[in-house]
Amino acid sequence: MKNDSIFALAKEKIQELSENDKSTLQKAKITGNWSSLKMIAVEDLNIPEYQRTKLKLDKLCKALPEVGGFDLDFFGALNVTDMGNGTYDVDNGQRRGISWIIKNILSNPDIDPSTMKVPCLVSSPKSYRKAAKLFWLYNGGAGASIRPSNEEGFHAQVEAELPEALKLKDLLVRAKLACGEVNKDFDRQIAYVTLVKATEMGAKNQVRYKKHKDLSDEWVIKVADLFGKVWPERMDNQLFNGFTHLLNHYAYQDTFLKETVWARFEKYISDLGKCYVTPTLYVKTLTSFKNTPDWSMGIALGILTGFAQVSNRIVIVGPLQKDVNKALGISV
């Protein structure tokens, strides 16, 4: 895969900027000096009071096995401020820094902190107020830094050939769906969070009903096919998860697996498609059902209620209605 030089990409992006943005960039002041790189012992690194002291490391720990642990080639440098007294305040990178320190402590409880050094980009001393502002900017203040979207992150995982990401990519191919840049040749885009949620529906039902068979991936393909027949080239993420919530439900999955029931359900949705030319128009009719903590449950109930009314009750609303009532704290 060919990578463009950063200079070539910059020239390309100029063409996408508005005249106002070009003017803003041209007039922007350049202050300070380039930071210098230095290896610093962790015992000399301090966390300023205004920073987050209650760190949540669970997501980082969960990711470590997938990325292969601490890759020092990718660890990067911490951004720190020289306090002029032999110590340095950490401006950015404390989460990975602390995680790496914890790993070393757990491996060797008697480790000497003076022997543990990490690469740091050192900036000149600054006022406490300015340091706090820089911390805010490093962490997305005023939109100065932007985290990758879920879809961009997924694309990077696919390029890195992470097993779970490749499984999702294969599912997208079979469902003829795109997710951001992944499988972008397909017309219909599904949000990453929608896709992940849909693939977890079956397992969640297994928690409640051990004999339930996890057919989450199969239902993703079938729902995508249904969308393709009723609303070609259209997608609504809320409705998609409403369908997958209903079809994976332990009380309804076996019913909808019957060819005769599925044929009637498919005709019911197709007839709705003649009235509601986009899936979003249809899901708007289900707004009154979306007052549940998990909106996909409410939308599933709305879909089921309509189908039950026109199908001579070949499905019953009771089990799903019971779930909704429980979620809303309604006792019947």
97 and 52 in a common domain: yes
Whether 316 is covered by a domain: the verdict is yes
275 and 135 in a common domain: no
Query: Tell me: the pLDDT tens digits for 174-191?
Result: 999 999 999 999 989 999
Dist CA 279 CA 317 (whole Å): 22
Of 143, 167, 198, which closes a domain?
143
User: What is the tally of structural domains in the chain?
Assistant: 2
135 and 186 in a common domain: no
Query: Tell me: the pLDDT tens digits for 67-78?
Result: 778 888 888 899
59 and 16 in a common domain: yes
Return left, alpha or beta for 32; rule: phi > 0 is left, psi -120 to 50 is alpha, else beta: left
**Both tokens assigned to 300:** 């599933």
**DSSP strand pairing (36-41 vs 78-82):** unpaired
Say yes or no to pLDDT of 54 above 60: no
90 and 17 in a common domain: yes
172 and 319 in a common domain: yes
Dist CA 213 CA 297 (whole Å): 19
44 and 25 in a common domain: yes
Burial class (CB in 10 A: 0-12, 13-18, 19+), 94: buried
Say yes or no to pLDDT of 138 above 80: no
Query: What number is the average pLDDT over the span 312-319?
Result: 90
182 and 91 in a common domain: no
Whether 332 is covered by a domain: the verdict is no
Residue-range definition of the domain harbouring residue 124: 6-143
67 and 25 in a common domain: yes
Of 100, 120, 143, which closes a domain?
143
Assign 143 a pLDDT band (cuts: 50, 70, 90).
low
Where is pLDDT greater, at 61 or 263? 263
Whether 44 is covered by a domain: the verdict is yes
Assign 129 a pLDDT band (cuts: 50, 70, 90).
confident
Whether 189 is covered by a domain: the verdict is yes
Dist CA 132 CA 51 (whole Å): 8
Whether 43 is covered by a domain: the verdict is yes
Query: What number is the average pLDDT over the span 212-234?
Result: 96
158 and 126 in a common domain: no
Look at the alpha carbons of 90, 92, 94, 99 in this order and tell me if their dihedral is positive or negative.
negative
Return left, alpha or beta for 208; rule: phi > 0 is left, psi -120 to 50 is alpha, else beta: alpha
Whether 81 is covered by a domain: the verdict is yes
**Both tokens assigned to 315:** 């499905």
Of 95, 114, 143, which closes a domain?
143
188 and 139 in a common domain: no
pLDDT of residue 144: 62
Dist CA 331 CA 5 (whole Å): 63
Say yes or no to pLDDT of 323 above 80: yes
74 and 196 in a common domain: no
Burial class (CB in 10 A: 0-12, 13-18, 19+), 14: exposed
Buried b (16+ CB within 10 A) or exposed e, 228-241: bebbeebbbbbbbb
Whether 32 is covered by a domain: the verdict is yes
Whether 1 is covered by a domain: the verdict is no
> Do 256 and 300 meet the contact criterion of CB atoms below 8 Å apart?
no
